[in-house]
Amino acid sequence: MRIGIDLGGTSVKAALCSESGAILRKQAVPTKIGDADGLRGDMKQLALDLCAAQGVSPDEVSSIGIGVPGSLDKKGCRLIFGTNLGMNDVEFARAFQPEFGCAVQLDNDANCAALGEATAGAASHVQNMIMITLGTGVGGGIVINGKLYTGCNDIAGELGHMVIRQGGEACNCGRRGCLEAYASASHFVKFAERALAEGRESMLASDRGHLNAKMICDAVDAGDPLATELFEEYCRNLSCGLANFINIFQPDCVVLGGGLAGYGEKLLEPLRRLTIPEIFRCETKNTEIVTATLGNDAGLIGAAML
């Protein structure tokens, strides 16, 4: 048995999983922002509650994995800087003692989502994959030969911060022209709000100041010219990043997750059409572009499999 914990700014989710990554039971509690001791106590109690509910002894748990947002020290099982959690320099391994004697692993939440999809989701049939999450930012994870690739310092996989336009839009990381500044849901909305502020006509105008990515996609479905223009530009920008990733790694598949991936084939079709001419291909096998299948469970499963 394994336990995976997904530590988010709103809730702490935990799942008891089989060795193959199947979720047997899961629970969640609100995140105690800024309260490290309270947070650690909740995580331990969730783990104990899962075991009790499933009739499993803590001794039967072979590992506990935690997915966290922010920078971290994997070897020390320590969150270094957690902006969304209101706390820094938090160590987690000892929080589960003495009841749990197993190893406790820690990794970035996007890496956990990638490992989850690689274990039990859209990429479970392959050994090499890249996952890109299209949400408030653009996150990512790289799996090579069935294992996460995290680089010499455990921070590889920041796919959203590949520059696609030198000197372009400002990114939250402090650089300019990052993929995140063109392909995140928040910047998709930013470009729509900017166009409306410039006087462009659109059915989106009635929700100006309160737009979200789904509203823009709905307007695309309704044939709105501005929304269609914005979406086509979004796909061109994202396909630039996808082509770069594929040309570097040639993975079996690229898995798209996050809110915008929910647009499904309406997103995949133009992305494939735009990306394929820009990548190196062969006659026998080439990278697939697919959407994630595990939803919010991906991070839980991936954390459990760390």
Burial of 169 per CB tally in 10 Å (0-12, 13-18, 19+): middle
Our measurement of the distance from residue 185's CA atom to the centroid of its chain's CA atoms, rounded to an integer in Å, reads 13
Bridge partners, residue 30, by sequence:
11
Whether the pTM exceeds 0.95: the reply is no
**Average pLDDT of adjacent 10-residue blocks, the chain of 306 residues:** 92 95 95 94 97 96 93 90 85 94 93 95 97 92 95 91 96 94 96 97 96 97 98 98 97 95 96 97 95 94 96
Strands (DSSP E) along the chain, which ranges? 2-7, 11-17, 23-30, 63-68, 71-73, 78-82, 87-91, 103-108, 129-134, 138-144, 147-148, 253-257, 288-291
